[in-house]
Structure 1
């Protein structure tokens, strides 16, 4: 059963049967209670990431002995990253009866920078409404304040903007109701002799846990929705840890329920009020529906779901093939037609060709399993696209794949061509070693692409190098204070933000959770 919905310029074909299946798979949220650990302040420190450090003042219990008037503030540290609801804050007047409302501002932050720098200074291109702050007028004191909105945070700052001169206020009984659909009791503890590997695994699992809500969210602070590129990586980590197969299945059906009239799957969907397909379409993300479906089947052997969703997966391949030119090469475009990585300099042609080849290999495996008539076509297209990549994108003199009219050499192009197995293993191994040695200028900017680098190294047998790269990247993030892994991290430019300011960055982000997958899947 289907109906038609128009979103902006896109006509969406809603499959109500798929929506119903997804609804039946909606998880129950697991709720726990967390309390603040310390009172802190933030101090300028050029030696730490973003230039701000959390400085412990005293245990949080000391707050009960304090009162606050106009212009006063305090910051609570809950000791670790949380996703949930701050409620039942007891606020009492101290001194004379309150003869004016309390004007209170509450700011939530995942990192110290969000406690230090005023949100009013933010001028980035992504909406400032993602910055987590609330302002209240509280007319009746004593009273209990409960905040209905869900937040993603470790730190909470309270500022008394105004109260009368006759009274001050005290605060007590802070609690956060955390929420997740990830059952931590399902995770097998990691036995490993390397303490840093164990810590990276632990932080990876915490990252995934906080992003597992009613769907696999990309980030609980921002954007708080289901993105297909993130889902693919979250699902892989989930198979090695929480094993919540139904949540992956639910998410696959949510995407399958709202393709456009061409059959293309959107890059992300909104799920809070109603299922809404976003009007963002990315070629690589659409293709990843194929690989995510294949990975799901490999983990579950759920042939019914594989068979039911295969036609839509095949359609993503057909749409991608329509982007090929007469040489079976992805047509380059000066537009955001693929994501690949957050790098404005990156040309997407060669890495997108790699993603397509990678997906074709998995589409062929699905076609064999479900006895699809498309098998011969897929095998022919795999042959064409591999030959084309070798002929038109390989620069023999440089020893690298090139991309676009400027023949750009990027990390992304080499990584994806290795994952696509365009060359035989030994030549791919030499390519990655050459990449690490020569270090082309168009580098990796996100944990998303860094995951693919590490997995490519494992694929060619460079396991020790892969482990060193993982430690140098995610381990460095831990040294910089990560209790969950971040959306963006460049060890050479630690305040990098594609949005114009790091206070808007997500510091608990789904696509950075994959070290636990890499460690456990490949016994690193």
Structure 2
């Protein structure tokens, strides 16, 4: 690992103070099986908070608390005994759920390939009652199922309160109100997108506050874009960039993600597209802030990523497609990523060219310009298929949504042909489709870029609007309207239902629609 202590120290000086607010239970609910509901579960109110506080609970009793909205924070519980003096410890089990499925489906049934330790539950033994307890772990939830596993025959327990100290580095007072007259679904979409971003804004931009609770550069890029139009927390973006820049992998590549604890350190995951996105993040940051000091300090790291990206080209000027690399693009098991990677390289080279020009680095700008010409010409010569009207990817010439979307964003074709490419994509609808809000974001960005605002808004309504109809309090890591239990990890129980890359409707609304 290549360490730059000066940059890491700058990042650590930018650790934000978290704002907190106390959130109370709104009602008690029951989770009911319903095939017509999202993932087969819905909630039904059972009692008021006052009724719950007046009840007492013994061995075998349980209830589900509904906080009314998505929360990220620390839980406080006040419990008192009812009946005889407690003569045995109280044994409680708490299950936390962002969505009803996590409350209804036993975690014992989980068989996904990610660690089951991400499933949110707590087993508690309380020796002395009454007690007020603050759980040390931070949880991410709307619902808490409380099960009284045991007391003794002599006493029960009552709950004076269960509170959440919700935390975020996103300051809502910075957000300007939308103008009046917008459709209600747009207003709701903006609100839920902002809540998604806010709950992911902790001491870094986390990808998901339930899982993975890490700083991933692909998520950071989209979070930062949304942040510039909402919370305007520029220092948090700067902190994240310095973390990536200060802890690179041995060959100089910016790592795909970093951890904060027990000390700042980079993960060993290397992604071709994510490393290149360091350039795009720096470009967007400069465009938002005009912070020349940061640009000057981080430019050498950005230029290094472009050089590493270019070194992956074959003799034709096409990104090599073999088993020695990994490129994310989207969660799709059948997707060939060569053409998308080529387009991401071109996209980031163009942003690098602009930054080199701003800095007055004419030699580097010329070098980057030459690479843009080489890679764009190669894409048209070797990946463009005139007969189908699409870019093909890999040895088998796969036609996918991702390849066309990224080639459109990279503006490899002239402007008019670029717009026609997306029109053709929407009509033909290739079999290799989109799996996540991450790629849907790029489709919508491409539609706005090519001037098709009407279709961009329609796609937002069809996708994020459908999440709203399915009960989203925050937007999700994965959403397939045709298979609402789909998961890249083998189980929907471990999906992230507040996920950074899904926060961008507020960016689209505030950049392109008002």
Q: Retained in 2: the 8 A contact 1:63–1:172? A: no
Partner of 1:383: 373
Partner of 2:436: 446
Q: Retained in 1: the 8 A contact 2:229–2:510? A: yes
Moved over 3 A (4+): none
Q: Deviations over 1:128-173 (max 9, x none)?
A: 1111100011111121222011011100010011121221111112
Equivalent of 1:504 in 470, 494, 499: 494
Partner of 1:176: 164
Equivalent residues in 2 for 1:420-499, closer than 5 Å = 420-499=410-489
Partner of 2:284: 295
State how far apart, in whole Å, the 2-side matches of 1:369 and 1:404 are: 36
CA gap 1:127/1:27 in 2 versus in 1, 3 angstroms: same
State how far apart, in whole Å, the 2-side matches of 1:444 and 1:271 are: 31
Q: TM-score, normalised by structure 1?
A: 0.96
Q: Deviations over 1:258-313 (max 9, x none)?
A: 01221100000001320110010000000000000000000000001001100000
Q: Alpha-carbon deviation of 1:500?
A: 0.4
1:143 aligned to 2:123?
A: no
Q: Deviations over 1:360-419 (max 9, x none)?
A: 110000111112231111001000000111111111111111111111111000000000
State how far apart, in whole Å, the 2-side matches of 1:170 and 1:451 are: 47
1:210 aligned to 2:199?
A: yes
Q: Alpha-carbon deviation of 1:58?
A: 2.1
1:21 aligned to 2:10?
A: yes
State how far apart, in whole Å, the 1-side matches of 2:58 and 2:48 are: 21
Partner of 2:142: 154
Secondary structure, aligned partner of 2:262: coil
Equivalent residues in 2 for 1:113-512, closer than 5 Å = 113-191=101-179, 192-334=181-323, 337-372=326-361, 373-512=363-502
Q: Alpha-carbon deviation of 1:335?
A: 6.3
Equivalent residues in 2 for 1:93-104, closer than 5 Å = 93-104=81-92
Q: Retained in 1: the 8 A contact 2:272–2:325? A: no
Secondary structure, aligned partner of 1:173: strand
Q: Retained in 1: the 8 A contact 2:20–2:165? A: yes
Secondary structure, aligned partner of 2:69: strand
Secondary structure, aligned partner of 2:78: strand
Q: Deviations over 1:96-126 (max 9, x none)?
A: 2211111110011100001100111111011
State how far apart, in whole Å, the 2-side matches of 1:71 and 1:500 are: 31
Instruction: Compute the RMSD of aligned alpha carbons.
Output: 1.0
Q: Retained in 1: the 8 A contact 2:336–2:398? A: yes
Secondary structure, aligned partner of 1:374: helix
CA gap 1:136/1:314 in 2 versus in 1, 3 angstroms: same
Secondary structure, aligned partner of 1:34: strand
Q: Alpha-carbon deviation of 1:334?
A: 3.9
Q: Retained in 1: the 8 A contact 2:317–2:374? A: yes
**Deviation larger for 191-200 or 416-425:** 191-200
Partner of 1:82: 71
State how far apart, in whole Å, the 1-side matches of 2:164 and 2:381 are: 58
State how far apart, in whole Å, the 2-side matches of 1:234 and 1:397 are: 38
State how far apart, in whole Å, the 1-side matches of 2:410 and 2:39 are: 37
1:111 aligned to 2:111?
A: no
Q: Alpha-carbon deviation of 1:430?
A: 1.0
Unaligned runs of 5+ in 1: 1-11
State how far apart, in whole Å, the 2-side matches of 1:61 and 1:456 are: 51
Number of aligned pairs?
512
